[in-house]
Amino acid sequence: MVQTSVQSSSLAIDSLQIHPHRTWEQFKLLQKGLEHSAGIRLFFFQGTIEVLMPGSYHELFKKIIALLIETFLIDRQVEFLPTGSMDRESEGMAAAQPDESYEIGDFKLVIEVIVSSGSISKLELYQTLNIDEVWFWKDGVLSLYHLNQGEYQRVDRSGIPALASLDIPVLTRCILLGETSRLRAIEQLRVSHAM
């Protein structure tokens, strides 16, 4: 088992445990044993299990991003289903509990805040799970990947129609602003995207 932890400023530490050379059955047993443990996120891909216990920095940014995305969609009266960290699985192959996730029309969007890098390639994992788009927040940068003909391509704007007009550099600035003021972040997003 490999264990890593990362700290950012004075906010609490993420804890990440990596368990290589594991079977799907071992993953399912661990998942069952931790089903009542709030806040723990599990991933399985290519024989590796990752157990993530996110710290406050991680949780703060995932909530800010979710708040801003939801504000953008609500302001445009777009229906969406917030699916949060809902289990996503492909039997025997891959499993994930993303930081945030959404179903927007026929599209699935996953948001991941990367504080501690594990050994699992999240893009390959989500490709196996057929997630239409994955957004990564790492070190103040938002990177978008859209699934096109079975492969992820890095994009500057969302390929999800309801989010295509969302200005990503503006969103990034609003996420950073949200660390100190969620109200100002929402206000700035709304001003920048006034319809």
For residues 46-74, average pLDDT: 95
Predicted pLDDT at 9: 42
Pairing of strands 107-113, 133-138: parallel
For residues 87-95, average pLDDT: 95
Predicted pLDDT at 1: 54
Q: How far apart are CA 88 and CA 31, in angstroms?
A: 12
Predicted pLDDT at 7: 40
Predicted pLDDT at 120: 80
97-130 pLDDT per residue, tens: 999 999 999 999 999 999 877 778 999 999 999 9
Q: pTM for the full model?
A: 0.90
Q: How confident is the model at residue 83 (pLDDT cuts 50, 70, 90)?
A: very high
Chain centroid to Cα 90, Å, comes to: 18
Burial classification of residue 131, based on how many CB atoms lie within 10 Å of its CB (0-12 exposed, 13-18 middle, 19 or more buried): buried
Q: Sheet holding 81-82: strands in order across? A: 81-82, 100-104, 107-113, 133-138, 141-148, 151-155
**Backbone angles phi and psi of 9, in degrees to 5:** 45, -135
- Which structure tokens are listed for 136? 């990564």
Q: How far apart are CA 43 and CA 163, in angstroms?
A: 27
Q: How confident is the model at residue 166 (pLDDT cuts 50, 70, 90)?
A: very high
The answer for residues whose C-beta is within 8 angstroms of residue 138's C-beta and 6 or more apart is 113, 114, 115
**Backbone angles phi and psi of 100, in degrees to 5:** -145, 150
Predicted pLDDT at 36: 87
